Amino acid sequence: MTDPTPIRVLLVDDQALVRLGFRMVLEAENDLTVVGEAADGEAAVRLAVETRPDVILMDVRMPQVDGIEATRRIVTANPSARIIILTTFDLDEYAFGGLRAGASGFLLKDARPAELTSAIRAVAAGDAAVSGRVTRTMLEMFSDRLPAMASSTAPTVDPTAALTPREREILLAIAEGLSNGELSERFFLTESTVKTHVGRVLAKLQLRDRVHAVIFAYDHGLVDRPSPRQGDAR
């Protein structure tokens, strides 16, 4: 039996030693291969087009074009692109900005090799590398940086019109941060049925993964938008 086609990974970081470290970890795995390296966001955008990687590991703070803007450009040009943001601090504003720009997750730069490879495999398979609950936590932390909702005088269009009533319930529960197991318990469904519903919700709303389902629900006012916490020095 032939080995499966390896997952193609593009490394983006302005530090050569960091890229080397990631390369050594990834190329020790039979199902992962590095197809290119970029030291800034501009080069990342170009290489994403040239190499068509399955997953991009994207640093945030880089010269010229930063990782968030590079993520936005790559996802705009190729909506199927899968990007993992590399960050120094857990649950920081840069990681959140990367998710809103279209990334499917984030990792600490000092993540263990097993965490890194597991996240890459998950994202390559179409899953998010960040849970809905973590995404909701980040929305609550950075709610003061969410864009204002459209004016109430604008035409009202139901963004969930394509969903069945049950699918809309599933979407709202995802926005709460519920896992498939928790969705199964709440709606008295098998996990396989839950997965089917989740897949249909994502497909009908053209959402990349559960992370973006949570963001979609908040952006469209489907759930209460958290108020910024008093005393935040931001």
Token match 């969903």: residue? 163
In this prediction the pTM is 0.80
Residue 146's pLDDT is what? 53
Residue 153's pLDDT is what? 43
Residue 56's pLDDT is what? 97
Residue 107: strand, helix, or coil? strand
Number of H helices, E strands in the chain: 10, 5
Domain with CATH 1.10.10.10 in the chain: 153-234
CA distance 66 to 61: 6
b/e for 142-161, b at 16 or more Cβ within 10 A?
A: beeebeeeeeeeeeeeeebe
Please say whether the beta carbons of 64 and 42 come within 8 A: yes
Residue 231's pLDDT is what? 45
Which strands form 32-38's sheet, in the order they lie side by side? 32-38, 7-12, 55-59, 83-87, 105-108
Which residues of the chain are modeled with pLDDT < 50? 1, 148-155, 229-234
Residue 80's pLDDT is what? 84
Residue 225's pLDDT is what? 62
Domain with CATH 3.40.50.2300 in the chain: 7-130
CA distance 101 to 229: 24
CA distance 227 to 74: 31
Q: Which of 3.90.550.10, 1.10.10.10, 3.40.50.11720, 3.40.50.10490 would CATH assign to domain 153-234?
A: 1.10.10.10
pLDDT digits (tens, 9 = 90+) for 206-218: 998 888 898 899 8
Q: Which of 1.10.10.10, 3.10.580.10, 3.40.50.2300, 3.40.50.300 would CATH assign to domain 7-130?
A: 3.40.50.2300
